[in-house]
Amino acid sequence: MDFYIILGVDQTATTADVKRAYRRLARKYHPDINPGDHEAEAFFRRVSEAYETLIDPERRQDYDARGLLRESGAGVGVEFEGFDFSVSATGDAASTFGDLFSDVLSGAQVSGERGGSASGVDLQATLGLGFDDAVRGGAFGVTISRVAPCDACRGTGARRVAESRCGACAGTGQSRWSRGHMVFSRQCGQCAGTGLRRQRPCGVCRAEGIVSRTEAVAVQLPPGVADGTKVRIPGKGSAGRRGGAVGDLYVTVVVGAHPLFERDGDDLHLVVPVAVHEAALGARIDVPTVDGRARVRIPPGTQAGQRLRLGGRGVPSPRTGEPGDLIVEVRIVLPDVIDERAKQLLRDLAELSTEDARARLWLEVAT
């Protein structure tokens, strides 16, 4: 950033103007006034550097001379205007080819020293969802802290002010200098050839073009989103300095467990209690689903652990939208023996069992 812009003065500013600008900024950004504010401390160091350079006549003259090439790169657009024999070309004013190359190439070094834009970084966030919300999908909000472009200067680090004549080129839009009798010119780097000085450092972002803020970001999720899914939201990461590229936001979805269902891909597993008589004689029972209830037929002779499949009653696929299945596992529940009549019924049932039936049962378990 240009030293004149940092202090908020024109290149024609007097020593008194520079001092007043420094005192004004010191009262606002001095570390003693902003304890613990590292951004204010960093900006005050730049203010001090600008003040120390512009308050010293020799350093300021050298800075202004190098500033002719500061904004537009190493030698691009330099024009040779001819010779001027009205000035002396001997002694200190004599020119060498080394001097000429120094004039042309020094702009690249100075430009690199000043620094420019820098890309922003990507951010990570976690979004917790309930099981039912993950099945339905939709828009969900996640709160993040990010570095965003400054609204006051639109991320440029400088604010527009009333136009005035550029002090570096006296409003001509061209910077001129000579080496010996040779005269050169190029587009003024302070005003980009417009002849007008339009910018001052932004006081909101301290000339960085970025500010910290906390905001809610909407995350659109498809129905059936799974635990651990990562969603990329372009342009919602941290913004870069002085107009640099904005990073992305990566949101990791964490889905909570369900008290009844266990998910396996797009299928759901459900353990259902079945009475002894229902398993033996067959029955139709209602079971819960993610969207309500469904009726399941229990075939006669159903055994414990047997699985029944209900097609299309699982979780929608996040890719195709097609639902998986609901797999119902039967768990036999024994009745409570509360009186003598219940005991007698169980004894009668036991008499119906034979050794052959028990052998068949062991064979089924073994296989």
pLDDT in tens, 297-339: 999 999 999 999 999 999 999 999 999 999 999 999 988 777 8
Smallest CA-to-CA distance from 303 within 350, 365, 356 is with 365
| pLDDT, position 69 | 39
Position 104 pLDDT exceeds 60: no
**Local confidence band at 70 (pLDDT 50, 70, 90 cut-offs):** very low
Q: Where are the alpha helices (DSSP H) in 3-130?
A: 3-7, 15-29, 38-55, 57-66, 97-114
CB 129 within 8 Å of CB 253 = yes
Domain ranges of the chain: 116-157+209-257, 258-334, 338-367
Averaged pLDDT, 30-55: 83
* 310's tokens: 């209900």
Give the integer Cα–Cα distance in Å for 317 and 137: 11
Position 71 pLDDT exceeds 70: no
Per the prediction, the chain carries an average pLDDT of 78
Position 255 pLDDT exceeds 60: yes
| Position with higher pLDDT, 275 vs 349 | 275
Position 350 pLDDT exceeds 80: no
- Could you please state the CATH topology (level 3) that the domain comprising 116-157+209-257 is classified under: HSP40/DNAj peptide-binding domain (2.60.260)
Q: State the DSSP H helix or E strand holding residue 362, giving kind and residue range, or none if neither.
A: helix 355-366
| pLDDT, position 223 | 96
**Local confidence band at 40 (pLDDT 50, 70, 90 cut-offs):** confident
| pLDDT, position 83 | 47
Give the integer Cα–Cα distance in Å for 180 and 131: 80
| pLDDT, position 117 | 58
**Local confidence band at 187 (pLDDT 50, 70, 90 cut-offs):** confident
Asked if the domains at 116-157+209-257 and 258-334 fall in one CATH topology, the answer is yes
Which CATH number applies to 258-334: 3.40.50.2300, 3.20.20.70, 2.60.260.20, 1.10.3720.10? Answer: 2.60.260.20
Confirm whether pTM is higher than 0.75: no
| pLDDT, position 341 | 83
Percent of the chain whose predicted confidence (pLDDT) is above 90: 33
Averaged pLDDT, 276-303: 93
